[in-house]
Amino acid sequence: MTLHFYKFHGTGNDFILIDNRDLKIKNINPEQIKYLCHRNFGIGADGLMLLNNHEDFDFEMEYYNSDGSGGAMCGNGGRCIVAFAKKLGIIQNSTKFIASDGSHEAFINELGEIKLKMIDVQEIQTKQNNLFINTGAPHHIEFNNNIAELNVFEKGKAIRNSIEYKDKGTNVNFVQIKGKGIEIRTYERGVENETLACGTGAVASAISYYIKYKSGSQNINVKTLGGDLQVSFIENENKYTNIYLTGSAEFVYQGTVEIEI
């Protein structure tokens, strides 16, 4: 089958997007996803998304990691699929869509940036000097004074596969304070490597910074290898609501690929 695809990225976190409103793809298996996301033999991406119709929302976001696994929310993917929906003419500058972790609202500002509302966060675990937060995807947060020198692949992989997280694994974020904001590097579960950015990781890291260092600001700049993101939220009695992830989402190119479905 000839499959028409679009390529987007959000601060370097790149995705294959497919308009599946006609249900051309009824089933896609992990091996097909791995092939399409492979950077040598396929198109190449950190993840793949199907944009599906939904009777109660503007659309449904069906997300898969590059290893073929699914089930978790992807913040940068969410911003990219909003930009994709606008490109397709489904929405204008605001939307409400459904993803694996529930409904999300999003807005496109005058700069073309996507402001995506994330799920509320209440359950935060302390693990020795580190934190664990689920922001739609699970995240281990570890602060470090020099993340530039870290071997993120080796250390992240070890934590992701540790006894503590062995059942389902976790994403791993290394965070360094920079001025009034933070800089992060992330090892992503499902990609099984460091990525240039991680949206749910940026949210988890910003909240962790607020908790651990008593930051007075609830609007935090997060620097990633792929660019800057902004995280804002409201904290009330250790519950975090009105969480927004804001940043660019860029269309790269479109094309066709042959695949057996």
What beta strand segments (E) does 100-249 contain? 102-108, 114-117, 124-127, 130-134, 138-143, 171-178, 181-188, 193-195, 219-224, 227-236, 239-247
Which pTM value belongs to this model? 0.95
pLDDT at 207 over 80: yes
Active site residue 80: no
Question: For residue 13, how many C-alpha atoms fall within 13 Å in the half-sphere facing its CB?
Answer: 35
pLDDT in tens, 101-118: 999 999 999 999 999 999
Of 17, 147, 152, 198, which is the active-site residue?
Answer: 198
Q: What percent of the chain has pLDDT over 90?
A: 88
pLDDT in tens, 172-189: 999 999 998 999 999 999
Return the pLDDT at 27.
Answer: 87
Mean pLDDT of 63-77: 94
Per-residue buried b or exposed e for 166-203, using 16+ beta carbons within 10 Å of the residue's own CB: eeebbbbbbbbeeeebbbbbbbbbbbbebbbbbbbbbb
Of 28, 74, 80, 137, which is the active-site residue?
Answer: 74
Return the pLDDT at 228.
Answer: 98
Mean pLDDT of 93-104: 97
Return the pLDDT at 259.
Answer: 87
pLDDT at 216 over 80: no
Return the pLDDT at 145.
Answer: 95
Mean pLDDT of 154-178: 94
Domains defined along the chain, listed by start: 2-107+249-258 (3.10.310.10), 124-247 (3.10.310.10)
What gap in Å lies between CA 140 and CA 160, rounded to an integer?
Answer: 8
Helix, strand, coil percentages, rounded to 5, for the chain: 20, 45, 35
pLDDT at 215 over 80: no
